[in-house]
Amino acid sequence: MFPQLVAGPIIRFQEVADQLQQRTCTLEKFARGAAFISLGLAKKVLLANSCGKVADLAFNAGSVETLEAWAGVVAYSFQIYFDFSGYSDMAIGLGLMLGFVFPKNFDSPYISQSITEFWRRWHISLSTWLRDYLYIPLGGNRKGPLRTYVNISLVMLLGGLWHGASWNFVVWGAIHGTVLTFERTQGKDSIYRLLPAPFKIALTYVIVLFTWVFFRANDLDHSLSYLGSMLGLAAPQEGAALLAGIMGQPYYLLCMAASAAIIWCGPQTWDFTRKITLPKLAVIVFLFWLSALVLTTQEFNPFIYFIF
């Protein structure tokens, strides 16, 4: 199943078993698959790579000003989302062109109102795999509250180690596991549920940003140093003004603004391609042409998830 073999989405045999034996290859599927590939390529080349430059500037600079530190981790959150959702779109598109229908892998994760909801929307094929092959076999929520909390924490720790054998990923998984456990203890009558949706979305996104620091930083010391910069606890090094000037270039600001608009206001690829009208076709063709043009000016920049 080469369309998704290298880095996902995680396709289980039972999801494609019937399709391997019998499937339909139609012009509509082929066209939608081509649209998925075009939009996925645009996510990677136009948005993920550009936001990645901003993230690299911040994370590779050592100690930075607070504003630049926040801009760097926001840029990384955009980079990793568009990088992997773009790859998933391209894998889904390749499958559609061959008649296969793969499940959705991302469902607007940054509009989540809790970390629990975030994991229902982020890398869906991985989170459901962890649920079905780790959480449920460990007992799930069938052996009492305490065992449930232990199972959640253990699954997230193992999920962190799945990405790499380093303390950064252990801490990343531990934070997510701790917040998931806390949310589980609150139940359905939590006061948090009464808060305005925009506040809950913003709070969830900020928590995710703090965890992305451990995902992006080189090691644990680097992670803690960067968090110190975000919280205004670290003295910036010389050249901070120059760094701010580079990160504030109009092209980078435009890419960041476009990324934010698409994440919080734009349609998902899954919905955008359900019916391809002439205006949508024009957008898809233009983005493919622009992506191919920009790609010729960029250096080798593999998908992030190829390293895990």
Amino acid, res. 256: M
Catalytic residue among 123, 163, 176, 222: 163
Instruction: Identify whether 9 is preceded by a cis peptide bond (ω within 30 of 0).
Output: yes
176 is catalytic: no
> Residue 69: CA atoms inside 13 Å, Cβ hemisphere, count?
24
Of 66, 54, 58, 57, nearest to 229 by C-alpha is 66
Between the alpha carbon of residue 219 and those of residues 15, 47, 213, 224, 236, the distances in Å are 37, 26, 10, 9, 19
Token digits of residue 196:
């305005």
User: Do 182 and 195 contact (CB within 8 A), yes or no?
Assistant: no
Catalytic positions, written as ranges: 163
